[in-house]
Amino acid sequence: MAERERDLERIRRALHEAGAVVRRFKRDTLRVDYKSDRSPVTEADVAVDLMLRYTLPEADEGWLSEESPDDRSRLERHRVWIVDPIDGTREFITGVPHWTISIALAESGIAVAGGIYNPTTGEMFLGAVGFGVTLNDVPVSVAGRARMEGAVVVMSRWAQKKRWGGLLSDAPCTVLTVEPLAYSLALVAAGRADAMWSHSPKWEWDVAAGVALVTAAGGRVTAWDAGAPAFNRWPPRIPGIVASSAPISRDLRRLLRAA
């Protein structure tokens, strides 16, 4: 088996196992703690993180996860796993079916493979640059729309309340409300949405798998400053994100500059 095919199989297997771990927990008895920034973390987050950290990295592979202490020795590694055990913990707690398990593999700072699994809906998005993307083993790709007219844009409620919602109120677009970034990017990769963006800096684990998927599906992803997203950095943040199909990207950038 070629190395990249093996990488994809490792991601697929890890996502299935992580889903099984999450299903052991019940929302009505779930223990929830809060970090210093008041974001929630549950015992399910911690359990999935532990399982993936034990399962995924092999010799000479680094590790970066939202729920693990950051070992900066990863900065010296060529291959690094970037993981969010549960992206959308608030949605997980409240029963909103948009939370996912997100796994990415970065090589020399580039997100080359990723998997995003939504256990609630049973959707597994899996792909690698040069290999394309599948949704539940069926090949998918980004949408082919070339202009923003009629586009489906994924946006959080918070963004809709800010200037971005007002911007789209004058454009003939449909807004799809999704909070977690990983699921938003997966929808773009699968052609279910045309574009998404977020202006504020993002943690690498929130977007790495989605960046790999959108790129592998033929889309275009940039940081907010239009540069290429770079991963396995310190601190592990990128300056915002813009993702879409390649044909629509120019029209999208024009719209964002107007804001």
Report d(CA 118, CA 131) in Å as an integer: 21
Assess whether 104 and 167 both reside in one domain. no
Neighbours of 140 (CB within 10 A): 18
| Residues paired with 64 in a beta bridge | 82
Q: Is the pTM of this model over 0.75?
A: yes
Same domain, 119 and 160: no
**What is the distance, to the nearest Å, from the Cα of residue 165 to the centroid of all Cα atoms in its chain?**
22
Tally of domains within the chain: 2
Task: Count how many residues are written for the chain.
Answer: 259
* Helices assigned H by DSSP within 95-239: 157-161, 163-169, 181-189, 204-216
The model's pLDDT over 9-58, given as tens digits with 9 standing for 90+, comes to 999 999 999 999 999 999 899 999 999 989 999 999 999 999 999 999 99
pLDDT tens digits along 54-105: 999 999 999 999 999 999 999 999 999 999 999 999 999 999 999 999 999 9
Residue finishing a domain among 114, 140, 166: 140
Q: Of 140, 175, 196, at which residue does a domain stop?
A: 140
Last residue of a domain, one of 108, 140, 172: 140
CA–centroid distance for 237 within its chain: 13
Assess whether 117 and 237 both reside in one domain: no
Same domain, 103 and 193: no
Task: Mark whether 45 and 136 lie in a shared domain.
Answer: yes
The domain containing residue 240 runs over which residues? 152-258
Tokens 């909070």, residue located: 179
Do 220 and 199 contact (CB within 8 A), yes or no? Answer: no
